[in-house]
C-alpha cells in the first residue's frame, strides 16, 4: 500500500480545526510528535477534545475547562482509546500542537512536524488498539513523507513544560510495531534511557 492510501486507511473521520495555517514555504516535514490528552483529566470517551480543537469547548462545562478559555490549539490526528482516529488538520498544513518547542536546535516545531494526540494521561496505560493504530499511522506518514527522520514525545521537544505522552507510554512496544525496511532510518526519542537509537522503518 502506498503512503497516501496507507494514511487514508488510518483515518476514521475528519473534523476541520480552524487552528492551523500554512507551513513555511519549502519546509519539509521531518518530525512526528506524540502527545497525550484527556478532557476532563483522566476522563475518556467524551467530545471535549474535539470541542477544544474546534474552539467550541464551553469553559463553564467543567472546572478543568476554565483555564482553556480562549486557547487555540489543534493536532493533526487524535487517536481515541478504541483507536478511532480523527484528522483535524491535513499533514501538509501546520497544526498548532507543539507550542514553545525545540528539536535538535530547531525552534518552532510546529513548522516541520506532524502532531498525534493519544487519548490518555500520565497515570494510565494506553490501550493495545492505540499502540496498533499509532504505529500504523506513523508508518504511513513515513511512507508518505520520506523527509521524516525522527519521532519524539511532547516531553522531548518541550521538556520544561510538558510530560506527555508520559511514563505509561511504552516506546519499545511502539517501536516493535513499526515495520522494518532498509530505505529509511528514524530516530525514536523515547528509546533506551533517552538515547536516540536508529530504527529501520518503511
Q: So what's the pLDDT on residue 80?
A: 99
In a 13 Å sphere around the CA of 49, the CA atoms on its Cβ side amount to: 29
* Reported CATH class of domain 3-201: alpha beta
Q: So what's the pLDDT on residue 180?
A: 85
| Other C-beta atoms lying within 10 Å of the C-beta of residue 67 | 9
**How is residue 191 annotated by DSSP?**
S
- Residue 134 CB burial class (10 angstroms; 0-12, 13-18, ≥19): buried
Q: So what's the pLDDT on residue 195?
A: 39
Q: So what's the pLDDT on residue 18?
A: 99
Q: What is the rounded CA–CA span in Å between residue 111 and residue 28?
A: 9
2 φ/ψ sector (left φ>0, alpha ψ -120 to 50, else beta): beta
Q: Residue 74 phi/psi, 5° resolution?
A: -160, 180
HEC string of 38-86 equals: CCCCCCCCCCHHHHHHCCCCCCCCCHHHHHHCCCCCCCCEEECCCCCEE
Q: So what's the pLDDT on residue 192?
A: 57
Q: Which residue has the cell 519549502?
A: 26
Task: Please give the model's pTM, rounded to 2 decimal places.
Answer: 0.93
Is 117 a residue of the active site? yes
Q: What is the mean pLDDT of each run of 10 residues along the chain (202 residues)?
A: 89 99 98 98 97 98 97 99 99 98 97 99 97 97 95 96 97 92 71 47 36
Q: So what's the pLDDT on residue 199?
A: 39
Residue tagged active-site, from 5, 42, 117, 132: 117
- Residue 170 CB burial class (10 angstroms; 0-12, 13-18, ≥19): middle
- Least Cα distance to 73 among 57, 92, 91 occurs for 57
Q: So what's the pLDDT on residue 120?
A: 98
Amino acid at each position: 500500500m502506498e503512503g497516501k492510501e496507507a494514511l487514508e486507511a488510518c483515518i476514521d473521520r475528519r473534523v476541520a480545526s480552524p487552528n492551523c495555517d500554512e507551513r513555511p514555504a519549502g519546509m519539509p516535514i521531518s518530525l512526528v510528535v506524540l502527545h497525550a490528552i484527556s478532557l476532563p483529566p483522566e476522563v475518556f470517551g467524551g467530545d471535549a477534545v474535539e470541542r477544544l480543537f474546534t474552539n467550541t469547548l464551553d469553559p463553564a462545562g467543567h472546572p478543568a475547562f476554565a483555564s482553556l478559555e480562549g486557547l487555540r490549539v489543534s493536532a493533526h490526528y487524535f487517536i481515541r482509546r478504541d483507536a478511532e482516529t480523527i484528522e483535524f488538520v491535513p499533514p501538509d498544513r501546520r497544526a498548532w500542537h507543539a507550542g514553545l518547542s525545540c528539536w535538535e536546535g530547531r525552534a518552532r516545531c510546529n513548522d516541520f512536524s506532524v502532531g498525534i494526540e493519544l487519548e490518555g494521561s500520565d497515570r494510565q496505560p494506553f490501550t493495545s488498539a492505540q499502540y496498533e493504530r499509532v504505529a500504523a499511522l506513523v508508518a504511513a506518514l513515513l511512507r508518505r513523507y520520506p523527509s521524516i527522520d525522527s519521532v519524539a514525545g511532547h516531553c522531548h521537544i518541550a521538556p520544561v513544560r510538558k510530560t506527555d505522552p508520559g511514563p505509561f507510554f511504552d516506546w519499545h512496544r511502539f517501536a516493535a510495531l513499526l515495520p522494518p525496511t532498509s530505505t529509511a532510518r528514524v530516530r525514536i526519542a523515547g528509546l533506551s534511557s533517552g538515547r536516540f537509537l536508529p530504527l529501520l522503518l518503511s
